[in-house]
Amino acid sequence: MEASGYAGKVLRVDLEEEKISVERPEESYYKKYLGGRGIIMHTLLSEVPPHADPFSRENKLVFAAGLLTGHKLIGTSRASVGAKSPLTDACGESEAGGYWGAELRRAGYDAIIIEGNAGRPLYLWVHDERAELRDAQEIWGLDMRQAMEWFQKDIGEKKYRTALIGPAGENRVRFANIIVDCNHAFGRAGLGAVMGAKNLKGVIVKGSKIPEAAEKERVLQLNRIMKERYKRSAFVKYGTGGAMKTFEELGNLPVRNWSGGSFPQVEKIDAVTLKHKYGAGMESCFNCPISCKKKIQDLEEPWSIDSVYGGPEYETLASFGSNLLIDDLSAICKANELCNRYGLDTISTGATIAFAMECFENGLLKKQDTDGVELKFGYAPAMLDVLEKIALRKGIGDLLAEGSKRAAQQIGKGALDFSMQVKGQEIPFHNPRLNQGLAIHYSVHAVGADHVSGTIDHLLPGLMADWDTLDQAETMDPTELSTRKARMTYLLGLWRAMPNYLGLCNFVPWRYKEVCEGVEAITGWKITAWKLMKAVERGITMMRVFNLREGFTHEHDFLPERFHEPAVEGPLKGVKIDREKFEEIKKIYYQMLGWDTNGVPRKSCLAALDLEWLSSYIDVAED
């Protein structure tokens, strides 16, 4: 009997033997782990041996569609990828929008498990329940556009979707990403470097089988509700970068590697200016009416920019703009293009360059270390020069390609003070001083600092009209750090992480009853918000156990020292994260998750989540 909603098939690819097989999990597997991150974490815990080198054959790379991905339900575009991260040595997971995830589901698969390291460059071609490994020697070393043009000839078909690495992944830059169709990204955790170590240039998918929902009319009814709500979305006109000016006024923007507090030039680089100066319209992901993805024109001066790589979103505008004190919008667009061309995470790239600039400013790096480059804040040519060197691991780029934490450890002399990271992953560009619930999430999250599956405190009042906030969005100062803030972070953290399991866009204003209806309509299951949230909590605890198994402890749940110091200027002048209070609330947050005060899951936690099998990996805390 064919599964309802999901494909019911997982593709397993052995790169060393160049063999492919198909597995068919039971329905109970999907009910327990849903999809996306849930499938990934079950696979990594079950199959990757403890302390495996992320670049070794023992590491597995897992692509997984969300439970709802590829259906006619609005916003079901997203897929996830995971492996042990070379950036953090912890579990790594990242998500991407666009059309790739939907195409994987339409090709007949829920996930792809890639194991072993190939003896030669290969790519995987998946099409309508068939899969084959093909030689990729000719395109090893090519950037994204060059590779895409080659695929048009080699595949000989149209309307396929690509997940590729560029030279950064091939060179094992520890924050290399996997680029989808040139302008979407599985951005974080350095998973492009894992793909490079496996000699896998890309995963190309094409499918023609539209997945069947159990209750088609119910899906259409939900879509009618969502289309009305979408009309009010702030993302329609400018995308995520439309908030730049407001964020600067609130103190949310990163300024000067988080050492500053205000960036009055913000309107020179925000999405409003981008749209009027370089814009070429907007584009959407699969089955989404918002179209929040910016397109830009081809540019010749002052830098040549290829429009195929799209325009910068908020994190990228902040990363290469205010974070580096750069107000040249064309330079930021060029940085975005280079990251997508070579396959680099824009968050870690900008943060690592900011780290290097502060090291240079303080004499820890000198011109002989930087290939003669004046690595100064505000100097766009230096930013672009170093960015390209990182991707190619040339000169100073070879050091910075290790990420800011490893680079700081090599430099010494107090350089770690300038590395804005958690567990080795550079923090996203939402200020934890302003968002102290998000600060807890940054510090505890298993992949390192992550903003996608956490709640950004200061945005909650604006979300209340359309998003369901589980009655946690009571009037609460975003800088508050308290037990009720821990409760908000816990409950909304479960809810905001759910798209990573279901394949929903994070900007879709679903309410919990509608999400439950959507799951029921597609799968035919009877579901409740409680069951879905417990599935997410199961994933969070699996990620925690993976890290504990790898040697991580509660001491790795920290924030950079800078955030425990008062802001020196700007809207948040004088605001800090009180260290003693932070440690107290973090322990309360642990206990809400069913862990002890050292962040170790209790026996009762594993029992409640049906995860007793994890007790063989760690010393479980007693109740």
Which tens digits make up the pLDDT trace of 494-528?
Answer: 988 999 999 999 887 788 889 999 999 999 999 99
Please choose, from the candidates 167, 149, 163, 142, the residue with its C-alpha nearest in 3D space to the C-alpha of residue 206. 163
Contact 395, 389 (CB under 8 A): yes
Per-chain mean pLDDT for the chain: 94
The residue that leads in pLDDT, 475 or 80, is 80
- Across 70-87, average pLDDT: 96
Is 229 exposed, middle or buried, given 0-12, 13-18 or 19+ CB atoms closer than 10 A? middle
d(CA 389, CA 343): 13
d(CA 489, CA 422): 18
pLDDT value of residue 467? 53
- The pair of three-digit structure tokens given for residue 48, joined into one six-digit string: 């990757």
List, in order of start, the domains of the chain with CATH numbers: 10-206 (3.60.9.10), 238-426 (1.10.569.10), 436-616 (1.10.599.10)
Whether the per-residue pLDDT at 141 is higher than 50: the answer is yes
Whether the per-residue pLDDT at 437 is higher than 80: the answer is yes
Which tens digit of pLDDT belongs to each residue from 457-495? 887 766 555 555 566 556 689 999 999 999 989 988 998
Whether the per-residue pLDDT at 11 is higher than 60: the answer is yes
pLDDT value of residue 476? 81
pLDDT value of residue 1? 33
Contact 117, 199 (CB under 8 A): yes
pLDDT value of residue 471? 62
Q: How confident is the model at residue 156 (pLDDT cuts 50, 70, 90)?
A: confident
Among the residue ranges 77-86, 380-389, 393-402, 479-488, the one predicted with the least confidence is: 479-488
Q: How confident is the model at residue 72 (pLDDT cuts 50, 70, 90)?
A: very high
Dihedral sign for Cα atoms in the order 96, 99, 102, 105 = negative
State percent of the chain over pLDDT 90: 83
- Across 82-91, average pLDDT: 99
- The pair of three-digit structure tokens given for residue 342, joined into one six-digit string: 């070579």
- Distance from CA of residue 220 to its chain's centroid? 30
d(CA 344, CA 338): 8
Its pTM stands at 0.96
Whether the per-residue pLDDT at 217 is higher than 60: the answer is yes
Please choose, from the candidates 606, 543, 547, the residue with its C-alpha nearest in 3D space to the C-alpha of residue 39. 543
Q: Give the length of the chain.
A: 623
Among the residue ranges 128-142, 271-285, 382-396, the one predicted with the least confidence is: 271-285
**Which residues of 265-305 form beta strands (DSSP E)?**
279-283, 293-296
Within 10 angstroms of residue 539's Cβ, the number of other Cβ atoms is 28
d(CA 93, CA 189): 6
Tokens 């995971």 -> residue: 82
293, β-bridge pairs: 283
- Across 536-555, average pLDDT: 98
pLDDT value of residue 523? 97
- Across 12-40, average pLDDT: 98
Whether the per-residue pLDDT at 305 is higher than 90: the answer is yes
- Are β-strands 178-180 and 130-135 bridged in parallel, bridged antiparallel, or unpaired? unpaired
**H helices of 124-240, where?**
144-155, 167-170, 191-197, 216-230, 235-238
Backbone angles phi, psi at 458, to 5 degrees: -70, -15
- Across 61-71, average pLDDT: 98
Whether the per-residue pLDDT at 551 is higher than 90: the answer is yes
Which tens digit of pLDDT belongs to each residue from 176-207? 999 999 999 999 999 999 999 999 999 999 99
